Amino acid sequence: MANWDDPGLIKHISDWEGGLASDPRDGCAVMPSDVKDPKTGYGYHTNRGVCYMTWKANAPKLGFDPSGKAFVNMTKEQWRAIIKNGFWKPLYLDSLKSQKIAELLLETHWGSGMGGVKPLYRHMQSLVGLTGKDVDGLPGNTSTNAVNKYLTTKAREDSLYDQLWKFRMDWLNRLGSKPAYAWALKGWTNRMNSLYKRSKNLITTYPKSFAGIFIALGVGVFFLMRKRK
């Protein structure tokens, strides 16, 4: 099953996130912290890629101080707890058997929130055969079970991942074509390309079919009998 604590995943997120940010152009800037950046005079809105509003929403549930001061002094352990509880678990990714698809969903949630991940979920739901009311864009056991049932071979996993990755990249390109977000497009696409490159090194093991097992046994018995003659 997929693992939020995969060292490569944690490194990927860390490598693409800086420290404190106070850029008014950023979407997270709608709720800057009460601690000001001395250079800009603007409140910090992001730390390690975590928006201040995300910190305020998750900190009380995780036993953290939700203040701006605590936010700018976020520890690595707190950061990891927010990845796990604020972004990974709400998507039911612990039960998904594809690490790379889980990571793409996590990255989408991380970068665009639940509003951004819903279109990707709707697309994924339709690709794996869900119909009607089940194509709702909402994470849950129905979606996770349908994906797991669909992923019977590596070829299917690769194809599904490629379609989801392209859908997400197209979504970012459309958003980045708007003047308000053009400044961020290059960073978004570079990060997506980095994630795609990482996906090529992730391996998922699929169960062998009973037919395949019987064929292998049959071939083995055939050669054994020939050797005895």
**Residue-level pLDDT at 127:** 98
The confidence score (pLDDT) of residue 206 equals 65
Number of other CB atoms surrounding residue 179 within 10 Å:
7
For tokens 């793409």, name the residue: 104
Place of tokens 């339709």: 126
Tell me the residue ranges of DSSP E strands in the chain: 20-21, 46-47, 50-51
What is the Cα–Cα distance from 123 to 168, expressed in whole angstroms?
10
173: Cβ–Cβ under 8 A, 6 or more apart, which residues? 185, 189
| pLDDT number for residue 216 | 41
Read off the tokens for 64: 């953290």
Determine contact, residues 36/43, Cβ cutoff 8 Å.
yes
DSSP collapsed to 3 states, 92-125: CHHHCCCHHHHHHHHHHHHHHHHHHHHHHHHHHH
Per-residue model confidence as pLDDT tens for the chain (229 residues): 999 999 999 999 999 998 999 988 888 888 899 999 998 889 999 999 999 999 999 999 999 999 999 999 999 999 999 999 999 999 999 999 999 999 999 999 999 999 999 999 999 999 999 999 999 999 999 999 999 999 999 999 999 999 999 999 999 999 999 999 999 999 999 999 999 999 998 877 665 544 443 444 444 444 444 555 5
Collect all residues with Cβ–Cβ distance below 8 Å to 42 and sequence separation of at least 6.
22, 24, 29, 32, 36
pLDDT of residue 207: 57
Q: With contact defined as beta carbons under 8 Å apart, do 111 and 87 qualify?
A: no
At residue 15, the pLDDT reads: 95
pTM: 0.88
Domain ranges of the chain: 1-91, 111-229
**CA atoms of 151 and 2, how far apart (whole Å):** 13
- pLDDT for res 204: 72
Distance CA 28, CA 141 (A): 29
Q: For residues 48 and 79, is the Cβ–Cβ distance under 8 A?
A: yes
Output the six-digit token pair for 227: 């050797």
